[in-house]
Amino acid sequence: MDKRILRERMRQKKRQLFIRKMMRLGFCVVAVVLVLVFLVRGVFMPIAGKIGKGSSSKTVEVQAQAQESGPQEALRQPIRSQNDSGKAGVHTVGWQEDENGKWYQNADGTYYANGMKEIDGSTYYFDENGYMQTGWVTIDGQDYKFDDNGVWEPDARRPMVALTFDDGPGEYTDELLDCLEKYDAKATFFMLGQCIEEYPEIPKRMKELGCELGNHSYSHPELTSLSYDEISEQYEKTNDLLEKYAGSPATVGRTPYGAQDETVCEATGLPCFMWSLDTQDWAKMDADADYDAVIGHVSDGEIVLMHDIHQPSVEAALRIIPDLIDQGYKLVTVSELAEAKGITLEVGKSYSDFWDSTVEQLKAEEDTDTDSDNLDSDSGLSDEGDSSDGDDESSDTADSSESDDYDSSSLSDEDTDSTE
């Protein structure tokens, strides 16, 4: 009898223990869930909200993981917590605005973030914090234009400019690279071998920042008076130095003073680049004048000539770079510019701009694949740019770039500059 009672009690005790254990487990699970909810809504969300645009909080990282390639549809995010003073008390559905910008509240208490969303027939883009974007936005390497009201303009094409800097590297180049890095802008540097020897660390940094390594000969001689082999040697020597210090040779070339013909271009072993806008910075030595020569005078496809060995030029560039970006321009390397326009660069061929009219001509040449004289086709291109672009300043310099600069007194001036 006693044993049976005892066994019965034991069984009851065991059941009680099991129930208590399950209850404790259930309580723990509920507690963990509550803590998680508290962390996400109470801590992460207000931080993301307060930091505002451009933040990289943990919430953003979580959201970013969900992002796929291309402009995906915006995700619905839970509404910001009551701790976020800017959003507290907002219960109306639709567009909202706070100190960080405009955002959109849905009826289910969520807001759009991290993608495109069609609202009332127009498409908008919301950043990781749910704020509507305007202007040019780069999403997965592609540029999208949103007007002042945030409405996507699918047909807008981002204008591009290639800033090029000759005769360096020099003592001011690093400061210029700092600026390019800050604004995620790219430029092309046509360097002299003798200067690379003086500043051997700089080409590597250029490459790391996505800038293009250009070859401007070793010692800046007038190439038209040199033999084919002497020209080749000038370019090989500089390429060897770039290979040694930056890990790869130049991908593009420019001849000193723009003094070139078909044979010279061929001897460089590279696609040769002239320019369409000559700032004449080496002659003016005036940052304001350099700035004025560029701002308001560039158009899509422009190749701008400057010299990073001069302090006023770099000073001007520090202002030109953010201002061109503000105007909607994307600052790219000359090769990126060619690629964006669908042009395959050829060794020994000369390029001075990638305006629409020029690109048309270059594509026609690619199609016919004639062995026509490079110089003839170049002058034809510049004329074409004149008539259609209507950009007097840049077209004029484009015309003069090959002949005038080379023949005129500017030759000796630049010579003294570059040997400094």
- Residues contributing to the site for Zn ion (CB under 5 A): 166-167, 256
Report yes or no: 222 and 256 within 8 Å, Cβ to Cβ.
yes
Beta carbon nearer to Zn ion, 278 or 389: 278
The one-letter amino acid at 262 = E
Which residue from 190, 274, 276 is spatially nearest to 235, judged by alpha carbons?
A: 190
Q: What are the beta bridge partners of residue 139?
A: 142
Report yes or no: 234 and 196 within 8 Å, Cβ to Cβ.
no
| CB within 8 Å of 8: residues ≥ 6 apart | none
Residue with tokens 């129930």: 19
Beta carbon nearer to Zn ion, 309 or 340: 309
Residue 288 annotated among the catalytic residues of the structure: no
Closest approach of Cβ 415 to Zn ion, in Å?
9
Closest approach of Cβ 216 to Zn ion, in Å?
6
Q: What angle do CA 62, 65, 69 make, to 5 degrees?
A: 150
Closest approach of Cβ 391 to Zn ion, in Å?
24
Which residue from 180, 181, 126, 185 is spatially nearest to 152, judged by alpha carbons?
A: 126
Beta carbon nearer to Zn ion, 128 or 166: 166
Residue 310 annotated among the catalytic residues of the structure: no
Dig out the tokens for 12 from the structure: 């009851």
Q: What are the beta bridge partners of residue 160?
A: 330
Catalytic pick from 216, 220, 307, 310?
A: 307
Closest approach of Cβ 253 to Zn ion, in Å?
12
Beta carbon nearer to Zn ion, 173 or 357: 173
Number of H helices, E strands in the chain: 16, 17
The CB-nearest residue to Zn ion is 166
355 alpha-carbon distance from chain centroid: 20
Closest approach of Cβ 210 to Zn ion, in Å?
23
d(CA 190, CA 176): 14
Closest approach of Cβ 224 to Zn ion, in Å?
14
| CB within 8 Å of 107: residues ≥ 6 apart | 93
Name the helix (H) or strand (E) containing 317. helix 311-326
Closest approach of Cβ 177 to Zn ion, in Å?
19
| CB within 8 Å of 399: residues ≥ 6 apart | 379, 382, 383, 386
Beta carbon nearer to Zn ion, 127 or 167: 167
Beta strand pairing call for 101-105 and 94-98: antiparallel
Report yes or no: 272 and 349 within 8 Å, Cβ to Cβ.
yes
Active site residues: 166, 307
